[in-house]
A and B are shown apart, each in its own frame.
Chain A
Amino acid sequence: MSDSAKDFVTLAVSVLIESLPFVFLGIFLSVVVQVWLPDGFLLRHLPRRGVLRRFAVSLIGVLVPVCECGNVPLTRGLIMKGLTVAEAMTFLLAAPILNPITIITTYQAFGWENGILVSRIAGGFLIANLIGWIYSRHPRQEALLTSQFQAACASKGEHHAAAGKLQRSVRLFTKETSAMMPALFIGCAIAGAIQVGIPRDVLVTLGTNPVWSVLALMALAFVVSICSNVDAFFVLSFGATFLPGAIVAFLVFGPMIDIKMLVLMRTTFTARTLVQITSVVALCSAALGLAVNYVA
């Protein structure tokens, strides 16, 4: 096996191994929400007004600290349970950042240095709620979903009468796993292939330019597809080379959008929706990183 092939396998498997526990945890929580949570429980306990409701939804990650790949099945479960698509998107984008594990690891890596931790938390919250606000004004939110997932949502009531909760849980777990796993494998393979293809030196060369450093680390975050729970330690090694704004952009953009996430999100959202989300999140992350670089 050539060196490049070995690197590809190593990188792809490392992303897979890192993601797998969180994906299963997310599927498990999704099953809990869909099957075991009483109907209307979640909706009853959330604020009624749109903005406040999305604020609350974006903080649910504090209770379910899984990384972004685990949030995709959980988001599907929340939509099944009655959250609007806009609210579920707010959760999906905010939860990987606004959860205790991510906050603690970011603090351990950077402390209060250059406002990186504060910028990450505030940036994640604001961007997720901006996306939620934009899509809350969409007249037909179900059109943002894939037809397969729309069909799954429509058929959820049919299983209720036919089987017990445990049986439904097993069936749902199997179904979600079979939906997520191919996407996860493909996402990990693409992430590994691109990391082998793009020389890391190229990214590092750009690291000390206030503008290009932001774009370079966003590109790196997109490619490496690393879990939000550990990405702070990964990017810490770039801390000496890259400007703090670039680090912030990496830590905000990566958990929301990367190759692996896009492939996983494609199981739920249409391609057009993903392009729109990616554009807005990328512009917001870039603006945030550039602002930090200018101020810090």
Chain B
Amino acid sequence: MLLTTVIVLAVLAGALALLNTTRGPRLESAAINLGSVIDHSGQRLLLNTDQPISSIDRDQITVTPEVPVSVAVDGTVVTITFEEALNYNTDYRVNIDPVIGLFQGAQSSIEYDFTTDDVDLYTLHRDSRITDDGTKRPDKIRRDTLLGTDVGRALFTAERIQEFAVLPGYLAVVTLDQENRNHLTLFSLTEETELEIVLPSDTVLKDLQTSRTTNLIGFTLTSGLDSGDHDLVDILYTYDVNAQTAVPQPVFGVDQRPLSVTDYVFVPNTTSLVAHGPDQVIYLIDVTVEGDIVPLGQHVEMRGLIPGTNSLVVADPTQGASIDLRDSTVTPLDLPADDELGDAIPAKLEVLNREGKYVRLYYAWGTDGTSRPLLALTDRDGSSFVYVPASPDTDIRDFCVSPNGQYVAVETFPRDGDSDQYPTLPGSSTMMTTFVDLSTGVSNRSINGFQPHWCK
């Protein structure tokens, strides 16, 4: 009896061992940050298999919807790096076929599905209406989700809000008092507390921006007309929310004097910014390290960063270029021609990728002699309309592309609307922002308000 049992068990164990040697690797766990993959390129998906696997070639991987990826294998871990930021609230499927076990050579395939996050969207809602008691209704900063997967709400209210920017855990808000003086307030999104940052007296604050991922904010200050001191002209200041001070610091140029700028932009995921001076020289400056300033050359125009990258687009009369801010490498960038748009007058432009694909605002002349705004997308294959206002009386105030390059936010206003008379960044009585999917041209959502935080 015992011998029979042992023989049966041995045969059973042997058969199972044989079956196991023919089974290929399986997916055991996966790790991905569904929030950061929609913000930055170079984010990773880690797939842990239950046994070590042989190296994997790029052509063994299929990602749907298609995204350029690179792959590396280390033992049981497959690292898939997404070369571009992924789309918001989108179902992705990653398939690897075949996957070959390192020890036994058995084959299998691995499939992993995930859905990226919807993205929070902050907008400014100005309200010019007067209440029954004669006071102005307050302006609001609202948080919604782009695709409406969550109920939005007002986060911050003040009588008059000029502009705002979003940091991790904070809103930086520029308000106006009765005398049109600026006040800069930090509003904690978690504790809902406020801290006013001390500004030099009688200065005008403009161009508030944040680095989004660090706790730095930037803005320019110009002396007010009444100050009598006209030394300050678009001087760039930064403020570190983590610093134990309520005083912002000026950014210094190579001459150790406060830097005056015509434009600037923070470099994502760093404490650096790129500033364009009045002399047209562009500087890369780490604002946390004294004296860390690198001139990047003289260029007529700074067109911002390519979404999801650290490549800065610059333009000169003869040629455009992209500058890789990691190593200051300059690469010529020839934008495709937009011949199909005829005599439309070109205006603001944003480059979408290193191949020169771009979205641009145009004003086209109608048969009645009036101009109508439109947004067009141009690449090597030609141009296509992205957004044309439905009404001929609607104008486009501004537009900007989402950090992942998927959407364009278009701010519109009625041409016959009343101005709200704010001294800086004036708006209209009815500002709207429409979000258009650049790949399909479909308007996914329109909301009241403007200045979506992407544009900061």
Q: Show the binding face of A for B, using Cβ within 8 Å.
A: 130, 134, 137, 208-211, 240, 243, 276, 279-280, 283-284, 286-287, 290-291, 293-294
Contacts and interface: CB of A to CB of B under 8 A. Distances in A.
Chain B CB within 10 A, most for which of A240, A276, A290, A291: A290
B19 to A, nearest CB: 5
Chain A CB within 10 A, most for which of B9, B12, B76: B9
B6 A290 contact: no
A191 B6 CA distance: 27
B1 interface: yes
Give 7 closest A-B pairs by Cβ, nearest first: A290-B16, A283-B9, A210-B20, A287-B13, A208-B51, A286-B13, A211-B17
B50 interface: yes
A280 to B, nearest CB: 6
B51 A209 contact: yes
A280 B51 contact: no
Given A208-B75, A210-B21, 9 more contacts: A208-B103, A209-B104, A210-B20, A210-B51, A240-B48, A280-B6, A284-B9, A286-B13, A290-B16
B5 A211 contact: no
B453 to A, nearest CB: 39
Interface in B1-57: 1-2, 5-6, 9-10, 12-13, 16-17, 19-21, 23, 48, 50-52
Contacts of B20: 210-211, 290, 293-294
Nearest to A281: B9
B19 A294 contact: yes
Contact of B10 (A209, A283, A293): A283
A287 B16 contact: yes
B193 to A, nearest CB: 40
A283 B2 CA distance: 12
A279 B23 CA distance: 27
Contacts of A240: 48
Given A130-B5, A286-B13, A243 B51 contact: yes
A210 B76 CA distance: 13
B52 A208 contact: yes
Contact of B23 (A208, A210, A284): A210
Contact of B6 (A210, A211, A279): A279
A286 B18 CA distance: 13
Contacts of A130: 5
A286 B51 CA distance: 18
Nearest to B51: A208
Contacts of B76: 208
A117 to B, nearest CB: 18
Contacts of A294: 16, 19-20, 23
24 contacts: A134-B5, A137-B1, A208-B50, A208-B52, A208-B103, A209-B51, A210-B20, A210-B23, A211-B21, A243-B50, A243-B51, A279-B6, A280-B2, A283-B6, A283-B9, A283-B10, A284-B9, A287-B9, A287-B12, A287-B13, A290-B17, A291-B16, A294-B19, A294-B20
A283 B13 contact: yes
Chain B CB within 10 A, most for which of A208, A211, A286, A294: A208
Contact of A134 (B2, B16, B19): B2
Chain A CB within 10 A, most for which of B20, B23, B48: B20
A290 B13 contact: yes
Contacts of B51: 208-210, 243
A286 B50 CA distance: 18
Nearest to A291: B16
A211 B16 CA distance: 9
Nearest to A130: B5
Nearest to A241: B76
A140 to B, nearest CB: 14
A243 B5 CA distance: 27
Given A284-B9, A291-B16, A276 B50 contact: no
B1 A134 contact: yes
